């Protein structure tokens, strides 16, 4: 075929030459990433002569010298090329227009394509090239800062980080605020974003608001992310892409490197080097270094008061002590982290013809973490077949992915993450030098008595997970007649999780086992009987499946100037999940409390002391829906939809509910005369919409496992450290809380039940959201400047809230419909295409801005008298919802302060005291978002960047608080001697405060020194650890060179070759006060309680990559 074409063009070319005037010009039109643009129109300007490109982007047209060829296509910027005497072959690189042009078609709910002009609501689209410009591993991270109103929040920095995706802020206080993810028409869990290869995605359409999402019903009250995977297109071709990356810690917390270890011990211990080590110098009364300490409140390294020039850190087999130099090593801890190397390989290919097409892809991605030996692997692929059989079109897609991670687990005692055990070493510790733990007498290779050597953990505590995911879909569309089509679509997905974790057996030295003192003093690690613990082993197994079917009719009919588009159908969705948590965590003698599976009713004890707990959930939903758009004269559109849902998880009386939506749009630039003729304004559309949606805010996850901490921890008092796996429970059975079981029961026939600490209101209703939005789209100067502005306001009432009760009421929470949230914002998307174009140089710019605010109007309702809700707190603060304030709100403990905010201290001790009422410390959610995406191209070279600013939020860095306890935070090098609290006041009489200039703190915690100010006093309050969470980030930089094909001579294989250098998260600019971590991180990984980080999130990183991409055939 190809040869034939070539012959044809040569032949036609001959004719052209012979006729000297008119000749055939051939060529190909592709987009900026080399993908063919099918069916583009090629017109000779000023004539009716036109031609159309084929599916492969190839075209030919007869033209004369001096003719101007106009290339145009839906969604693509028109280009004009003048035919010169030597113009025979043209390769046109098309640029996609931003989507606010009249002709653009967009994907809407149920995958139905609509013209943008018809829509009365906001949508955005991201193409594969833009999504993948920085070679992301997780698709969601490729969206950050590229679309207004889309909040992508990376929860942590593990090898498989959790990403939270929300659109337009938060509507639900306690329920789910995450967008619904739909892949090729099939809803999937948000966790699926980690399973899909981003290169397989053709485009992502964001249905930001309720109107856009109304057809998806309750599942979509938070907006929908429609992911469309690639299909075969044009003639057969294969693309291979390889990306190699290197990831390094970029911002490490600020540390003090001046002082050595001392934790408040009196007394002394024998010095392995001979003599005695006095922990407090008997002559001066000052603290000497204590080698086994983690708290760095000892003597300064610069002093000479340690007995030798080295510190003992452990014994070898022959009771010889190892020593480290008596000096501070500022990078001794940071250098524990390695450069993580990643490798992504992707091969994809496909073709299409008039009968249909085929696409397939395979992905093999490996990644090392910055924590040594942490690994991630993703393997899988996808096949999509589509067939056009007369009236019937068929699409079948199947994908299968395995994502495996193997990460260092928690430590054996307090289930601490590696990062925390790294931080809790003294400034003199060179972690690299103690990697070989086998040289120590005891296999835990500990260097301080309270926190294990993190290398022990790396080698002996592992947490693995293997997640398999199958996603399949079949869509059949039958064209019943010229105006009516019936579509049936069914999708089935199944996920299997297998997550074994273990902590190996440990042999403790006798002095640890026996507790109390030893050659070097005490330890809190001495919790184990005998000389070893058994291997602790835990396995979480789970699977869940989701079967979703839609059947609907779509019809389009015209009556005169009116055009009607109708969609009507029904949906059925069935979900089940099952989980098994197995643990043999127990010690030889210790029993109660050692078995870490809480006493779930389904817990089964085995004779060897191990146990399983089983969980199973089912949920069914069904719905009917209808959607009608009436267009008048192709400029005015009125649209309405209606959906009724039935769900099994609510009480039979309340399980049926409906949502109406109505909106309209008017393309004024097509109607108003002065706009029609305007040279400046090329497009103007205004729109207005209302939608009612519901959210059954009971969806949740059941936490299985404690050992395989996945990065973000949780604040669950029953479970130390975090969790291994979140099993979706769909909110099934949530309205019927089950009785708890007292630990140890059943004994014989005695069940030992205990009432649930949660009570649920009888007749609980879904949350209801009324959403209004208005907006306009404006194209200026032939759409060179595109502006889209939206304003939305969503009021969610009937919030489903587990009201926090006084425990004296008998329960801890009462789940009820109470409360209202108002969520409003402005979104602005602006693109300048191009800003500058000078010959081959082109500079494009797009930017987006969003303001969003979620405000709690009220919480109280019915019997509830509470005005706030908390999400789980630590002793220093927590994340709350408070009537009248932004949501979510950080509340912290603070010291008592005078009206001017100065700390009130005691007139004799100089010490401040705690205010028993928590104080407001600001919003945990960002309010301002700004994304800037400049793009430069010069000939074959392009440079793209993405800047991301977020503002208006605060962050509670709990880790800084813990670091103050350990005396390792940068500020801890100060205020060790008696000192006057800066900017403090003394209350001389009620309400009268005078500045404190002369009452110093001389004693803290019963010690005759202020040395433990940071550890035992200052860190009792949370307020000092709240900083601004604002940041600027350089998220992405990608420099790509497209090799000119002529370099490869005449060959028929290689069609395209690109090479890119990519940087991700290269720079972050934060306010000076925030010297801890990435404020985007969140302990509550995918929940609502953002604004709070701990030691479970490793430090931020930057990633450098090199990528090569080749297309053949």
Our CB check for another protein shows the closer of 729 and 783 to be: 729
Strand-pair category, 603-605 with 536-559: unpaired
Q: Which of 46, 285, 916, 991 binds another protein (CB under 8 A)?
A: 916
Smaller CB separation from another protein, 572 or 1104:
572
- Residue 469's beta-bridge partner residues? 401, 495
Query: Two tokens at 308?
Result: 């030798």
- Closest distance to another protein from the beta carbon of 251 (Å): 29
DSSP character string of 12-68? HHHHHHHHSSEEEEEEEEEETTS-B-TT-EEEETTSS-EEE--TTSEEEEEEETT-E
586 binds another protein (CB under 8 A): yes
> Which residues 6+ apart lie within 8 Å of 439 measured at CB?
316, 322, 445
Binding another protein (rule: CB under 8 A), the pick from 275, 529, 763, 1071 is 529
Residue closer to another protein by CB (options 34, 579) is 579
Nearer to another protein, 726 or 1103 (CB): 726
- The residue within the footprint of another protein, chosen from 317, 438, 531, 809 (CB under 8 A), is 809
- State the first-to-last Cα distance of the chain, in angstroms, to the nearest integer: 13
Q: Is 605 one of the binding residues for another protein (CB under 8 A)?
A: yes
What is the DSSP code (8-state) at residue 447? S
Q: Single out the segment in contact with another protein by CB under 8 A; choices: 183-191, 243-251, 364-372, 808-816.
A: 808-816
Query: What are the residues whose beta carbons fall under 8 Å from the beta carbon of 1075, sequence distance 6 or more?
Result: 253, 254, 970
Residue 805 touching another protein (CB under 8 A): yes
| Bridge partners, residue 927, by sequence | none
Please identify which residue in the block is written with the tokens 């090629």.
Answer: 42
Please tell me whether residue 591 binds another protein under the rule CB under 8 A: yes
Specify the stretch interacting with another protein by CB under 8 A; choose among 235-243, 587-595, 819-827, 919-927.
Answer: 587-595
Distance CA 432, CA 419 (A): 14
Nearer to another protein, 360 or 745 (CB): 745
Nearer Cβ to another protein, position 340 or 918?
Answer: 918
Within 13 Å of residue 590, how many CA atoms lie on the same side as its CB?
Answer: 15
CB of 857 to another protein, least distance (A): 20
Is 528 near another protein (CB under 8 A)? yes
DSSP string for 769-801: EEEEEEEEEEEETTTTEEEEEEEEEEEEES-EE
Report the site for another protein in 171-190 (rule: CB under 8 A): none
Q: Which stretch binds another protein (CB under 8 A): 390-398, 537-545, 586-594, 1074-1082?
A: 586-594
Closest CB to another protein among residues 738, 781: 738
Provide the Cα torsion 442, 445, 449, 454; round to 10°: -150
By CB under 8 A, tell whether 989 contacts another protein: no
Task: Supply the DSSP string of 151-216, one letter for each residue.
Answer: EEEE---SSS--EEEEESS---SSS--PPEEEETTEEE-GGGGGTS-GGGEEEEEEE-SHHHHGGG
Instruction: State which of residues 57, 217, 253, 918 lies at the interface with another protein (CB under 8 A).
Output: 918
State which of residues 808, 908, 990, 998 lies at the interface with another protein (CB under 8 A): 808
* 275 forms part of the interface with another protein (CB under 8 A): no
Based on the shown chain and the rule CB under 8 A, indicate whether residue 615 belongs to the binding site for another protein. yes
Angle (CA) 879-880-883 rounded to 5° is: 155
200: which 2 tokens? 């397989």
In the set 84, 267, 763, 1044, which binds another protein (CB under 8 A)?
267
Reduced to 3 states (helix: H, G, I; strand: E, B; else coil), residue 952 is: coil
Nearer to another protein, 176 or 399 (CB): 176
To 10 degrees, the CA torsion angle through 136, 141, 144, 149? Answer: 140
The nearer residue to another protein, 241 or 893, going by C-beta atoms, is 893
Candidates 753, 993, 1041, 1043; binder of another protein (CB under 8 A) is: 753
Q: Please report, as residue ranges, which positions from 15 to 34 form the binding site for another protein (by CB under 8 A).
A: none
Q: Is 970 in the site for another protein (CB under 8 A)?
A: no
**1002 binds another protein, rule: CB under 8 A:** no
Region 129-168 residues binding another protein, contact defined as CB under 8 A: none
Determine if 553 is a binding residue for another protein (CB under 8 A).
yes
The nearer residue to another protein, 929 or 1012, going by C-beta atoms, is 1012
Over its C-alpha atoms, the chain yields an Rg (Å, rounded) of: 33
Question: Is the four-CA dihedral 639, 645, 651, 654 of positive or negative sign?
Answer: positive
One residue of 204, 649, 727, 1085 binding another protein per CB under 8 A: 649
Q: Are 548 and 490 in contact (CB under 8 A)?
A: yes
Omega of the bond prior to 888 within 30 degrees of 0, cis? yes
Residue 390 within binding range of another protein, rule CB under 8 A: no
Q: Which is closer to another protein, CB of 295 or CB of 827?
A: 295
Binding-site residue total for another protein (CB under 8 A)? 121
Q: Which stretch in 158-166, 189-197, 317-325, 512-520 sits in contact with another protein by CB under 8 A?
A: 512-520
Binding another protein by CB under 8 A: which of 743, 872, 971, 1000?
743
CA distances from 31 to 114, 129, 837, 851 (A): 22, 9, 18, 33
Count CA atoms closer than 13 A to 1050's CA, side-chain side.
0
264 binds another protein (CB under 8 A): yes
Quickly count: other Cβ atoms within 10 Å of residue 85's Cβ.
7
As a whole number of angstroms, the distance between CA 936 and CA 934 comes to: 7
Nearer to another protein, 312 or 931 (CB): 312
Please report how close the Cβ of residue 883 comes to another protein at its closest, in angstroms. Answer: 13
* 767-780 and 758-760 beta bridge pairing: unpaired
- Among 10, 15, 273, 480, interactor with another protein by CB under 8 A: 480
Instruction: Answer yes or no whether residue 281 interacts with another protein by CB under 8 A.
Output: no
Task: Quote the least distance from Cβ 616 to another protein, whole Å.
Answer: 5
Rounded Cα distance, 635 and 145, in Å = 32
Question: Coil, strand, or helix at residue 1019?
Answer: helix
Work out how close the CB of 549 gets to another protein at its nearest, in angstroms, rounded to a whole number: 9
> In the bound complex, what is the minimum distance in angstroms from residue 1082's beta carbon to another protein?
21
Say whether residue 991 binds another protein (CB under 8 A): no
Span interacting with another protein, options 196-204, 802-810, 1027-1035, 1042-1050, rule CB under 8 A: 802-810
CB of 895 to another protein, least distance (A): 12
Among 360, 373, 492, 620, binds another protein (CB under 8 A): 620
Binding to another protein by residue 810, rule CB under 8 A?
yes
Within 10 Å of residue 940's Cβ, how many Cβ atoms?
12
Q: Which residue's entry shows tokens 């689209």?
A: 125
Measure the CA–CA gap between 831 and 785, rounded to whole angstroms. Answer: 6
Q: Which of 733, 843, 928, 1032 binds another protein (CB under 8 A)?
A: 733
When asked if residue 745 is in the footprint of another protein (CB under 8 A), the reply is: yes
3-state secondary structure of 1088: coil
How far from chain centre, in Å, is Cα 212? 23
Task: Give the nearest distance from C-beta 595 to another protein in angstroms.
Answer: 5
Among positions 747, 901, 982, 1073, the unique one binding another protein when judged by CB under 8 A: 747
The CB-of-26 to another protein minimum distance in angstroms stands at 44
Please list, in sequence order, all residues whose beta carbon lies within 8 angstroms of the beta carbon of residue 505, skipping any fewer than 6 positions away. Answer: 532, 533, 534, 535
Least Cα distance to 853 among 888, 890, 878 occurs for 888
Place of tokens 């100067």: 781
Taking residues 650 to 689 in sequence order and writing x for each that binds another protein by CB under 8 A, - otherwise, the string is --x--x----------------------------------
Q: Nearest approach, Cβ of 523 to another protein (angstroms)?
A: 7
Q: Does 481 bind another protein (CB under 8 A)?
A: yes
């Amino acid at each position: 075929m190809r040869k034939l074409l070539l012959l044809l063009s040569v032949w036609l070319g001959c004719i052209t030459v012979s006729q000297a005037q008119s000749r055939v010009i051939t060529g190909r039109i592709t987009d900026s990433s080399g993908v063919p643009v099918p069916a583009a129109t090629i017109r000779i300007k000023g004539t009716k002569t036109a031609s159309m490109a084929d599916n492969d982007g190839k075209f030919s047209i007869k033209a004369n010298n001096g003719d101007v060829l106009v290339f145009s296509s839906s969604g693509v910027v028109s280009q004009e090329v003048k035919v010169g005497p030597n113009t025979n072959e043209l390769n046109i690189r098309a640029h996609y227009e931003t989507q606010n042009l009249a002709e653009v078609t967009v994907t809407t709910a149920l995958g139905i394509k609509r013209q943008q002009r018809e829509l009365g609501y906001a949508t955005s689209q991201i193409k594969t090239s833009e999504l993948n410009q920085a070679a992301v591993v997780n698709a969601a991270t490729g969206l950050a800062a590229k679309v207004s109103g889309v909040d992508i929040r990376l929860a942590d920095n593990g090898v498989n980080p959790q990403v939270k995706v929300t659109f337009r802020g938060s509507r639900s206080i306690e329920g789910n605020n995450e967008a619904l993810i739909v892949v090729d028409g099939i809803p999937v869990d948000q966790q699926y974003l980690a399973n899909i290869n981003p290169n397989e995605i053709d485009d992502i359409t964001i249905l930001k608001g309720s109107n856009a999402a109304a057809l998806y019903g309750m599942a979509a009250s938070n907006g929908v992310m429609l992911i469309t995977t690639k299909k075969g297109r044009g003639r057969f071709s294969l693309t291979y892409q390889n990306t190699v990356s290197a990831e390094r810690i970029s911002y490490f917390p600020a540390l003090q490197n001046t002082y050595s270890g001392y934790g408040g011990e009196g007394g002394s211990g024998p010095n392995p080097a001979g003599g005695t080590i006095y922990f407090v110098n008997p002559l001066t009364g000052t603290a000497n270094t204590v080698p086994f300490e983690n708290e760095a409140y000892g003597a300064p390294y610069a002093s000479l008061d340690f007995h030798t020039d080295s510190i003992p850190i452990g014994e070898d087999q022959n009771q010889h002590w190892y020593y480290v130099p008596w000096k501070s090593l500022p990078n001794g801890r940071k250098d524990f982290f390695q450069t993580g190397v990643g490798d992504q390989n992707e091969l994809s290919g496909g073709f299409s013809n008039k009968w249909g097409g085929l696409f397939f892809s395979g992905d093999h991605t490996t990644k090392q973490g910055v924590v040594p030996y942490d690994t991630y692997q993703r393997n899988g692929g996808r096949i999509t077949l589509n067939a056009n059989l007369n009236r019937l079109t068929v699409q079948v897609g199947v994908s299968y992915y395995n994502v495996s991670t193997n990460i260092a687990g928690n430590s054996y005692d307090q289930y601490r993450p590696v990062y925390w055990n790294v931080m809790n070493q003294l400034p003199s510790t060179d972690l690299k030098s103690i990697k070989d733990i086998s040289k120590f007498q005891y296999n835990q290779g500990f260097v301080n008595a309270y926190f294990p050597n993190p290398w022990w953990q790396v080698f002996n505590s592992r947490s693995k997970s293997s997640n398999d995911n199958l996603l399949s879909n079949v869509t059949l569309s039958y064209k019943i007649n010229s105006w009516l089509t019936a579509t049936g679509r069914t999708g089935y997905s199944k996920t299997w999780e297998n997550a074994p974790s273990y902590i190996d057996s440990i042999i403790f030295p006798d002095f640890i086992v026996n507790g109390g003192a030893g050659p070097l003093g005490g330890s809190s690690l001495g919790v184990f009987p005998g000389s070893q613990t058994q291997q602790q082993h835990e396995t979480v197994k789970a699977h869940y499946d989701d079967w979703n079917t839609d059947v609907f009719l779509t019809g389009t009919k015209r009556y005169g100037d009116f055009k009607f588009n109708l969609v009507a159908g029904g949906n059925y969705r069935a979900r089940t999940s099952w989980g098994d948590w197995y643990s043999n965590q127990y010690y030889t003698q210790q029993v109660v409390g050692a078995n870490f599976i809480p006493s779930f009713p389904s817990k089964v004890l085995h004779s060897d002391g191990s146990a399983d707990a089983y969980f199973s959930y089912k949920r069914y939903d069904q719905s009917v829906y209808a959607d009608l758009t009436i267009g008048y004269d192709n400029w005015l559109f009125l649209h309405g939809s209606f959906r009724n849902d039935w769900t099994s998880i609510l009480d039979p009386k309340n399980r049926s509910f409906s949502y109406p939506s109505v909106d309209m749009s008017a393309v004024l630039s097509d109607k108003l005369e002065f706009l029609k003729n305007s040279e400046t304004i090329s497009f103007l559309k205004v729109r207005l919409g209302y939608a009612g949606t519901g959210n059954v805010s009971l969806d949740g996850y059941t936490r299985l496992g404690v050992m395989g901490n996945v990065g973000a921890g949780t604040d669950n008092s029953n479970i130390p450290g975090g969790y291994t796996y979140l099993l979706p429970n769909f909110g099934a059975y949530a309205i019927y809380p089950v009785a708890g079981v007292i630990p140890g029961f059943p004994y014989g026939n005695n069940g030992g039940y205990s009432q649930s600490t949660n009570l649920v209101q009888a007749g609980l209703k879904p949350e209801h959201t009324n959403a209004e939005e208005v907006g306009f789209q404006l194209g200026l100067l032939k759409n060179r400047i595109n502006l889209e502005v939206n304003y939305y306001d969503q009021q969610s009432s009937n919030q489903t809230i587990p009201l926090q009760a006084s425990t004296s009421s008998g329960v801890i929470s009462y789940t009820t419909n109470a409360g209202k949230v108002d969520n409003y914002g402005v979104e602005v998307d602006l693109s300048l295409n191009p800003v500058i174009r000078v010959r081959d140089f082109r500079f494009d710019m797009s930017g987006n801005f969003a303001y969003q605010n979620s405000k709690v109007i009220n919480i109280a309702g019915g019997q509830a008298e509470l005005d706030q809700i908390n999400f789980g707190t630590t002793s220093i603060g927590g994340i709350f919802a408070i009537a009248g304030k932004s949501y979510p709100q950080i509340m912290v403990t603070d010291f008592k302060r005078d009206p001017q905010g100065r700390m009130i201290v005691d007139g004799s001790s100089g010490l401040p005291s705690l205010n028993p009422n928590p104080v407001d410390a600001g919003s945990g959610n960002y309010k301002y978002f700004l994304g800037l995406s400049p793009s430069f191209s010069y000939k074959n070279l392009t440079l793209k960047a993405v800047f991301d600013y977020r503002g208006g939020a605060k962050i509670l860095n709990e880790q800084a608080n813990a670091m103050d306890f350990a005396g390792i935070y940068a500020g801890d090098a100060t205020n060790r001697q008696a000192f006057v609290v800066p900017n403090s006041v003394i209350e001389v009489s009620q309400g009268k405060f005078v500045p404190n200039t002369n009452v110093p703190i001389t004693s803290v915690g019963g010690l005759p020194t202020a040395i433990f100010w940071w550890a035992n006093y200052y860190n009792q309050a949370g307020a000092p650890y709240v900083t601004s969470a604002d940041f600027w980030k350089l998220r992405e930089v990608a420099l790509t060179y497209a090799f000119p094909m002529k370099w490869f001579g005449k060959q028929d294989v290689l069609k395209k070759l690109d090479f890119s250098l990519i940087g991700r998260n290269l720079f972050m600019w934060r306010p000076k006060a925030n010297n801890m971590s990435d404020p985007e991180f969140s302990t509550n990984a995918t929940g609502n309680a953002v604004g709070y980080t701990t030691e479970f999130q490793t430090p931020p990183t930057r990633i450098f990559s090199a990528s090569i991409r080749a297309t053949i055939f």
